[in-house]
Chains A and B, each alone.
Chain A
Amino acid sequence: MKIYKKASLMAVFSILLVLSMFPASSAEMNYDRLKTNTLAMLDNSINRIENAKNTISNNPKIDEATKTNTIANLTAMQEKLENYKTEVEATTTIVDLRNLNTEIIKYLVDNRDIIRNNVRMALINLGQKVADKADDFINDVEKLLKVMKVSCNEQTSQITEVEAQLNELQTSLTSLETAITEKDSATIKSQVRKISQLSKSIYEDMKSIEQAC
């Protein structure tokens, strides 16, 4: 009987011991999971910034000043996130980690447009270059058309066709300039595409007029 009592008491103590260990183990698991998730979130943002930096710096058409400016903005953000990573690694309690996690999430939310804004800055830079180039192109075509009207006056219908395309190009250029002012990157892209296609078509027609002359 005594043996049964002892065994029962030992069993109860064992159960209590095991139960007493659960809260600590659960808190530790939460800490580890939160730490892993926080670090993964930071790594994800750091990688996205890195990709944006690479895209901008590898683009040969963006001028150096814009590249320097955008990459400096993105690098500053990246460094801040790297510092957060070190702070996360240095935490020892779930409370500290939760507080830090909240701070990091707020920082990311407040700065979530950093990639968008800097890529947009690069797009605007390219859009402005296209606008300048298209303006030169229009002027050159106008000058050539003046000469062709005299020297190739038998090609009147084709010249008229080019003039119509040139008007369309001028309209696209105006839309592009408006989009640049309004920082409307979708329209910048679509008008640049249209300008590229029109300039190609105009060049082909001009070449054909020249050959027919």
Chain B
Amino acid sequence: MKKTYIIVAIILIIIFGLFAVYKNKNSPGSDNGASGKIDVSGLDSLSKDLNSLGSSMDSLNDDVELDSAGSSSSDSSSETPSLSGLESSQNDLAAYDSSMGGLNDNEDL
């Protein structure tokens, strides 16, 4: 009889043990620790950070670069051409236009 109690007790211990292991494995957040609770506040903060980073990247164009040809009329300290550089180019184009005025190729000897 005593033997039977011992066997039943062992079986119960094994059953509770297995149940505890099963419960632990299938509980959400089991990887985070024994508590099984999720800390969503961290995710929320991360999400906000990502959104903020995304917005700040919108104004950054990494394909805007100084080309050597344009640098002569652009501000070399800036990554994008300046409006003053544009003005200088436009003035050059106007000067070329007026310099052509005196050149007439319709004259014979």
Contact = CB atoms under 8 A, between A and B. Distances in A.
B75 to A, nearest CB: 11
A159 interface: no
Interface string A125-140: 0100110111111011
Contacts of B104: 119
Interface string B28-68: 00000000000000000000000000000011010110010
Contacts of B80: 143-144, 147
B102 A59 contact: yes
B94 interface: yes
B100 to A, nearest CB: 5
A108 B94 CA distance: 36
Nearest to A44: B109
A132 B109 contact: no
Contact of A115 (B59, B74, B102, B107): B107
Nearest to A51: B107
A85 interface: no
B100 A200 contact: no
Interface size grouping (class) on chain B? 20 to 34
Contact of A61 (B59, B63, B73, B95): B95
Nearest to A108: B109
Interface string B58-88: 1101011001011001100000110101110
B64 A60 contact: no
Interface in A100-121: 108, 111-117, 119-120
A123 B100 CA distance: 7
A61 B89 contact: no
Q: Mostly helix, strand, loop or mixed at chain A's interface? A: helix
Nearest to A62: B99
Contacts of A14: none
A141 interface: yes
A34 interface: no
Nearest to B74: A140
Determine which residue in A60, A122, A143, A210 has the highest number of CB atoms from chain B within 10 A of its CB, and name it. A143
B90 interface: yes
A140 B64 CA distance: 10
A187 interface: no
Contact of A141 (B61, B86, B105, B107): B86
A146 B61 contact: yes
B26 interface: no
Contacts of B108: 112-113, 115-116
B1 interface: no
Contact of B103 (A119, A141, A206): A119
A181 interface: no
A61 B47 CA distance: 58
20 contacts: A45-B109, A115-B105, A115-B109, A117-B105, A119-B103, A119-B107, A123-B100, A123-B105, A130-B93, A130-B96, A130-B97, A133-B89, A133-B96, A134-B93, A140-B85, A143-B80, A147-B61, A150-B61, A196-B94, A210-B83
